Amino acid sequence: MPRMRRKSDLPSKTCAACGLPFTWRKKWERDWDNVRYCSDRCRRAKGGAGAV
């Protein structure tokens, strides 16, 4: 079963807020090690109020 592996080479993580898996995105290329959440919404949900 031949399989193209271009897009599937991207790393992925599990969101610490909603628990869903998410895949590397271009906007995270500099900060991937620090990314914990799939979206800004999840980061705010777990990040705590007032923390910037």
Interface contacts to Zn ion, rule CB under 5 A: 15, 17-18, 38, 42
How far apart are CB 5 and Zn ion at their closest, in Å? Answer: 26
Pick between residue 18 and residue 35 the one whose CB is nearest to Zn ion: 18
Q: How many CB atoms lie within 10 A of CB 44?
A: 13
Pick between residue 17 and residue 35 the one whose CB is nearest to Zn ion: 17
How far apart are CB 50 and Zn ion at their closest, in Å? Answer: 20
**Phi/psi at 32 (5° precision):** -60, -40
